[in-house]
Amino acid sequence: MDLRAPLGLGGDHYLTGVSVGPVEDGRVHDCAGCDGRVRRDRVHLSATVRSDAGDRTAVYHYCSDDCLRAWLAVAAD
Protein backbone atom coordinates (compact mmCIF):
# COMPACT_ATOMS: atom_id res chain seq x y z
CA MET A 1 0.00 0.00 0.00
CA ASP A 2 1.44 3.33 -1.02
CA LEU A 3 1.03 6.13 1.49
CA ARG A 4 -1.02 9.12 0.39
CA ALA A 5 1.87 11.36 1.30
CA PRO A 6 5.45 10.16 1.82
CA LEU A 7 6.58 10.26 5.46
CA GLY A 8 9.87 12.07 5.95
CA LEU A 9 12.44 9.95 7.76
CA GLY A 10 15.22 12.47 7.86
CA GLY A 11 17.66 13.61 5.22
CA ASP A 12 16.60 12.56 1.74
CA HIS A 13 14.69 9.47 2.91
CA TYR A 14 10.93 9.04 2.74
CA LEU A 15 8.66 6.17 3.67
CA THR A 16 6.45 5.71 0.62
CA GLY A 17 4.62 2.47 1.35
CA VAL A 18 3.92 -0.35 3.77
CA SER A 19 2.81 -3.83 2.76
CA VAL A 20 1.82 -7.07 4.44
CA GLY A 21 2.51 -10.42 2.89
CA PRO A 22 5.08 -13.11 2.23
CA VAL A 23 8.60 -12.15 1.15
CA GLU A 24 8.31 -11.51 -2.57
CA ASP A 25 11.82 -12.51 -3.54
CA GLY A 26 11.62 -15.81 -1.64
CA ARG A 27 14.74 -15.10 0.42
CA VAL A 28 15.24 -15.01 4.18
CA HIS A 29 15.81 -11.45 5.39
CA ASP A 30 17.12 -9.98 8.62
CA CYS A 31 14.49 -7.97 10.43
CA ALA A 32 15.38 -4.27 10.22
CA GLY A 33 14.02 -3.71 13.74
CA CYS A 34 15.58 -6.52 15.77
CA ASP A 35 17.94 -9.48 15.50
CA GLY A 36 15.17 -11.70 14.20
CA ARG A 37 14.78 -13.23 10.80
CA VAL A 38 11.92 -12.89 8.36
CA ARG A 39 11.28 -16.30 6.86
CA ARG A 40 10.04 -16.50 3.32
CA ASP A 41 6.94 -18.48 4.25
CA ARG A 42 5.83 -16.08 6.98
CA VAL A 43 3.52 -13.13 6.52
CA HIS A 44 5.30 -10.00 7.66
CA LEU A 45 5.49 -6.24 7.17
CA SER A 46 7.66 -4.49 4.62
CA ALA A 47 8.42 -0.78 4.33
CA THR A 48 9.43 0.90 1.08
CA VAL A 49 11.83 3.80 1.54
CA ARG A 50 12.73 6.22 -1.23
CA SER A 51 15.95 8.14 -1.23
CA ASP A 52 15.87 11.29 -3.33
CA ALA A 53 19.65 11.24 -3.39
CA GLY A 54 20.27 9.02 -6.38
CA ASP A 55 16.54 8.37 -6.76
CA ARG A 56 16.75 4.91 -5.16
CA THR A 57 14.17 2.73 -3.47
CA ALA A 58 14.86 0.14 -0.78
CA VAL A 59 12.53 -2.34 0.91
CA TYR A 60 13.01 -3.21 4.59
CA HIS A 61 11.42 -6.25 6.19
CA TYR A 62 10.09 -6.54 9.74
CA CYS A 63 9.23 -9.67 11.68
CA SER A 64 6.39 -7.97 13.56
CA ASP A 65 4.20 -4.93 13.79
CA ASP A 66 6.09 -3.93 16.95
CA CYS A 67 9.42 -3.93 15.10
CA LEU A 68 8.07 -1.69 12.33
CA ARG A 69 6.50 0.70 14.86
CA ALA A 70 9.69 0.88 16.92
CA TRP A 71 11.72 1.56 13.77
CA LEU A 72 9.32 4.31 12.69
CA ALA A 73 9.37 5.89 16.16
CA VAL A 74 13.13 6.31 15.85
CA ALA A 75 13.33 7.09 12.15
CA ALA A 76 10.47 9.60 11.95
CA ASP A 77 11.13 11.35 15.26
Taking CB under 5 A as the rule, which mask of x and - marks residues 35-54 in contact with Zn ion? -x------------------
Q: Are strands 37-38 and 29-30 parallel, antiparallel or unpaired?
A: antiparallel
- From residue 13, alpha-carbon distances to 38, 40, 64 in Å are 23, 26, 22
Q: Does 72 bind Zn ion (CB under 5 A)?
A: no
* Piece in contact with Zn ion (CB under 5 A), picked from 6-14, 33-41, 42-50, 52-60: 33-41
Binds Zn ion (CB under 5 A): choice among 9, 49, 67, 68? 67
Query: For residues 31 and 65, is the Cβ–Cβ distance under 8 A?
Result: no
